[in-house]
C-alpha cells in the first residue's frame, strides 16, 4: 500500500505507458500489484487489458494481475453508461 510521501507505482507506470516505455510500465504494474497499491484499481490510470492492445507487455501485466473481478465491474460500469476517463 502506498504510504504518505511514497510515490504510487501505478502512477509512475501510467506515466511510462504514456511515454511509450512499455517494459518499465509493465514492471511497475507488477510492483503495484505486489505492494497492493490502491491506485491500481483507479479508472484514472489503467482501464482494461483490452485497452492496451498496442502494448502487449502492459496488457499481459494487467491480465496477470489477478484483477479479473475489478475489470468485470469496470466493464459493467462502462456498459451502464458511467463512462471513463481516457488517456
Each residue's pLDDT tens digit, 27-52: 998 888 888 787 776 766 667 888 88
> C-alpha angle 73/10/35, rounded to 5°?
90
In 3-state terms, what secondary structure has residue 6? coil
Q: Alpha-carbon distance 46 to 11, whole Å?
A: 9
Residues with Cβ within 8 Å of residue 30, at least 6 apart in sequence: 61, 64, 65
Residue 43: inside a domain: yes
How many domains does the chain fold into? 1
Residue 45: inside a domain: yes
> C-alpha angle 69/28/46, rounded to 5°?
40
6: pLDDT strictly greater than 90: no
Task: Kindly report the average pLDDT of the chain as a whole number.
Answer: 79
Residue 77 vs residue 85, higher pLDDT: 77
Task: Give the pLDDT mean for 74-82.
Answer: 74
| Domain interval for residue 15 | 9-79
pTM value surpassing 0.75: no
**Closest alpha carbon to 52 in 5, 81, 78, 13:** 13
Identify which of 33-37, 57-61, 64-68 has the greatest average pLDDT: 57-61
Amino acid at each position: 500500500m502506498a504510504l504518505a510521501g511514497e510515490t504510487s507505482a501505478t502512477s509512475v507506470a501510467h506515466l511510462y505507458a504514456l511515454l511509450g516505455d512499455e517494459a518499465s510500465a509493465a514492471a511497475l504494474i507488477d510492483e503495484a500489484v505486489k505492494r497492493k497499491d490502491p491506485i491500481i484499481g483507479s479508472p484514472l490510470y489503467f482501464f482494461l487489458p483490452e485497452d492496451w492492445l498496442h502494448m502487449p507487455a502492459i496488457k499481459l501485466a494487467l491480465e496477470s494481475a489477478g484483477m479479473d473481478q475489478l475489470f468485470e465491474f469496470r466493464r459493467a460500469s462502462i456498459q451502464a453508461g458511467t463512462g471513463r476517463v481516457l488517456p
